[in-house]
């Protein structure tokens, strides 16, 4: 009886709150003006003191090794051996032999790379998707699927975030579209409303990276693919980035409460949804709807009704979701992703 009364009371309180207020966190998510993490990959590489280092150097070394110009380790350091390999490549392509990797050299490195065939079987279909067009990104399969409602329309291979800079799992929407950023961003850009960073879906000047978890968190596509998808979606189109729930285990090390945002909030929202307490969108914002879902869960499971997710509530959610087998320690997001093949290997 007490649970019924408390549930009714909570429902009455939340019914008094305008629905627009409940969704304020979602509506207020906009471009945060932080640079896209892929901007770090959009630079000229050359011999410097101290030596240049980074994931863009790793991708360069990997491609040069594929082409037979580099025989060292892909250590991410632009050293003399890497510069000499670049010069040899430039000479073979009749480019100015500078040892500097500018946009023309990046473009030449991508020449001749064959795009894999479409993963979905070809069959007669309309020229473009109809109805409720949305996007599903599968980080485990490294695919992006344009859907009509729940029905797949067309599937594309992608590159996604590496373990140290993972792609944002959750339910997002496109908040901006732009043309021809060039360089590491490729032919098109579609920005997402991720509250803790500037992430998007874009093309690339490194087509050999497609099919690997190697980006700074954005979703990379072949330029011809991103151009096609760009024309089918609008600002407001929903984008779900999915991965096994276990990938996020270990991401929540703080008490979560209203007003916070982050990947750990998405993790809790997904756990709530798994337990049957739907917090609306798993959008990384701990807003009124998420607080309501937490209070309802705590009420129906006998936990203290605080509306906050402390360690006790989180562990209870994980147990209810069947996330871990008995006597099996949690697997951190970092460790679980490291089990996947990386471009760096």
- Active-site positions read 202, 218
Give CA angle at 163 (313, 183), nearest 5°. 130
Contact 254, 264 (CB under 8 A): yes
Torsion-angle region of residue 27: left (phi > 0), alpha (psi -120 to 50) or beta? alpha
Residue among 268, 47, 36 nearest 161 (CA): 36
Torsion-angle region of residue 171: left (phi > 0), alpha (psi -120 to 50) or beta? beta
For residue 288, what are the contacts with CB-CB under 8 A and spacing of at least 6?
Answer: 14, 17, 21, 22, 24, 258
Tallying the residues shown for the chain, one arrives at 345
Residues paired with 156 in a beta bridge: 144
- Token pair of 290 as six digits: 């998420």
- Token pair of 48 as six digits: 């410097």
- Dihedrals φ, ψ of 74, to 5°? -85, 75
């Amino acid at each position: 009886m007490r649970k019924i009364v408390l549930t009714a009371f909570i429902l009455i309180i939340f019914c008094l709150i305008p629905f627009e207020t409940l969704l304020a966190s979602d509506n207020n998510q906009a471009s945060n003006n932080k640079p896209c993490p892929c901007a770090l990959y959009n630079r000229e590489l050359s011999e410097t003191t101290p030596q240049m280092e980074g994931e863009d150097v790793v991708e360069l070394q990997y491609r040069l090794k594929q082409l037979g110009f580099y025989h060292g380790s892909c250590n991410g350091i632009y050293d003399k051996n890497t510069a000499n390999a670049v010069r040899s490549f430039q000479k073979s392509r009749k480019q100015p032999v500078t040892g500097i990797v500018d946009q023309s050299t990046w473009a030449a490195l991508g020449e001749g790379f064959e795009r894999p065939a479409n993963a979905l079987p070809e069959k007669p279909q309309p020229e473009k998707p109809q109805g409720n067009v949305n996007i599903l990104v599968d980080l485990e399969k490294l695919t992006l699927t344009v859907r009509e409602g729940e029905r797949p329309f067309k599937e594309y291979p992608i590159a996604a975030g590496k373990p140290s800079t993972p792609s944002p799992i959750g339910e997002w929407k496109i908040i901006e579209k732009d043309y021809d950023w060039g360089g590491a961003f490729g032919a098109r850009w579609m920005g997402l409303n991720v509250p803790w960073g500037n992430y998007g879906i874009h093309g690339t000047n490194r087509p050999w990276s497609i099919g690997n978890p190697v980006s700074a968190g954005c979703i990379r596509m072949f330029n011809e693919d991103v151009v096609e998808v760009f024309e089918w979606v609008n600002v407001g189109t929903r984008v779900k980035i999915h991965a096994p729930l276990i990938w996020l285990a270990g991401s929540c090390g703080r008490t979560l409460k209203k007003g916070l945002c982050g990947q750990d909030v998405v993790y809790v929202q997904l756990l709530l949804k798994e337990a049957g307490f739907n917090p609306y969108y798993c959008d990384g914002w701990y807003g009124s709807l998420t607080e309501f879902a937490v209070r309802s869960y705590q009420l129906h499971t006998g936990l203290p009704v605080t509306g906050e997710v402390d360690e006790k509530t989180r562990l209870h959610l994980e147990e209810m979701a069947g996330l871990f087998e008995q006597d099996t320690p949690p697997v951190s997001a970092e460790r679980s992703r490291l089990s996947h093949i990386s471009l760096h290997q």
